[in-house]
Amino acid sequence: MSQTQVNRRRFLQKSSALSGIAIWTGLSGRAHGFANPNDRPRIAAIGTGSRWGRVNGGYGSGKEFPKYGDIVAVCDADSEIRDRASGLIQAWGGEKPDSVADYRKILDRDDIDIVHISTPDHWHAKIAIEAMLAGKDIYCEKPMTLTIEEGQQMSEVCRETGRIVQIGTQQRSSGTFVKAIAMIQQGRIGEIKKVTCSVGGAPTSPQIPAVQSPKNLDWNQWLGPAPEASYRRLAGNKNETKFWSNNHYEFRWWYEYSGGKLTDWGAHHVDIATWGMGKDETGPVSIDPIMVKHPVPFKDGHPTEPDRYNTATEFMIKVMYADGIELNIRHDQGNGILFEGTKGRIFVNRGRLTGKPVEDLATNPLPEDAMQTAYKGRPLTDHFRNFFECVVDRVQPISDIFTHHRALTTCHLAGIAARLGRKIQWDPTAEKIVDDQQAQSFVGREKRKGFEIEMKSKV
């Protein structure tokens, strides 16, 4: 989309209406400041599974988009999920969108401005890179990539194309987390010495049989860049899907498609830790798997049993930076981030911000502009609105490709060290593992034939 097109679609009342949370306008179902149909961006959703739509409450990112634009197309390898998404969009006050199984039909359309990527992790980079090259701005759910190499590729293409990309690490737009970052930046805990990210453990599964994939699911398309594999499914799980499987929501417990809790919750908490430590433009120098438990045996970093979940269930991984800051990523001790500095410590998660420095705010509050300064100099707003504001202004959103790539690299390195069961050294400038060819081989993965990343521009 050219700058002329961006200007043509500029949202109304930006300077005043965009400074706060979106306001619904009754029967129209449209947000104040994004009401004129001629100024609302046209959006396509690629991947519309359970986390996209959340019918029965809970977080569902897809339902946020009609506040700011019109969802005109949906794409998913599962026809039942596509049909459900179309119905939800109509229920949210929109018109019935076009429905396609092949995301390339969306990228080929000149009338689509923004792509929302909510596929399994192993598809993110391919779709995002090709969408940027097709002139689309992107909201991509976390974790951004399956490998470090994909993050390097996405960063390169984003620089070349100038597209606006927001990653769905919505904690970066939470007042609780932004206040914690502002406190750190204002020196309220002194010099950071240690950070602990408690991200929770991953589940195990019984043996999951290979069965025929259902008619509504194009299993070959769902696999995409991942290696060929049997479709697996077993009823009886006490989770949201009621099944153990290697697809849909349960894909995250298989290294073939994700990184387990290290990239699931790790993508959230290690991202905030990286921000707080001031490491958005660098990375660690060593990653040591002090303790790791996997539910299946491993050989040379690969699971040897193909019929059950294989990501790490318990772990304690010690990450060190060149300046001596220690980051621990662990499965226990609840859920949240503990920052420890020379003047105090604070704990933050989605429910609370605690610690003596927090209590001291009652008598020594932060400067009025501290949180806005932490939030890249912009008024704090919700994560989606920040993205749409930045699409208008053509500036980097609060969770851009480059900062998320650095944080997620730490998560991926933790996963590599966990799989190999040994300490690895990382050069954050060259972005390479040092003196360990086997570990370096895990930085990227070969894509299945026919699903390689298309790096040629379409605009």
Identity at 325, one-letter amino acid code? I
* pLDDT confidence of residue 32: 35
- Can you say how many angstroms the Cα of residue 342 is from the centroid of all Cα atoms in its chain? 32
- What confidence tens digit (pLDDT) does each residue in 262-298 have? 999 999 999 999 999 999 999 999 999 999 999 999 9
Report field, pTM of the whole predicted structure over 0.85 = yes
Which residues contact residue 100 at a Cβ distance below 8 angstroms, ignoring those fewer than 6 apart?
A: 73, 74, 75, 82, 106
What does the buried/exposed string (b/e) look like for 187-200 if buried means 16 or more CB atoms within 10 Å of the residue's CB?
ebbeebeebbbbbe
Alpha-carbon span 190 to 18, nearest angstrom: 34
User: Which residues on adjacent β-strands are paired with residue 42?
Assistant: 70
* pLDDT confidence of residue 11: 40
* pLDDT confidence of residue 59: 67
Whether domain 169-453 has CATH 3.30.360.10: the reply is yes
Longest dimension (CA), the chain: 64
Contact assessment for residue 232 and residue 184, using Cβ atoms and an 8 Å cutoff = no
Q: How far is CA 237 from CA 76, 175, 205, 393, in A?
A: 24, 35, 9, 46
Residue with tokens 């060259």, as numbered in its chain: 430
Helix (H) or strand (E) holding 302: strand 302-303
Q: How far is CA 262 from CA 171, 199, 271, 296, 413, in A?
A: 16, 7, 12, 17, 10
Q: Which residues of the chain fall short of a pLDDT of 70?
A: 1-38, 55-59, 457-459
Each domain of the chain, given as residue ranges in start order, spans 3-118, 169-453
User: Which residues on adjacent β-strands are paired with residue 346?
Assistant: 339
Which residues contact residue 245 at a Cβ distance below 8 angstroms, ignoring those fewer than 6 apart?
A: 208, 232, 233, 234
* pLDDT confidence of residue 456: 74
* pLDDT confidence of residue 317: 98
Q: Which CATH number fits domain 3-118: 3.30.450, 3.40.50, 3.30.43, 2.10.260?
A: 3.40.50
C-alpha torsion 182→186→192→194, nearest 10: -30
* pLDDT confidence of residue 166: 98
* pLDDT confidence of residue 61: 84
Which residues contact residue 112 at a Cβ distance below 8 angstroms, ignoring those fewer than 6 apart?
A: 42, 43, 44, 72, 73, 106, 136
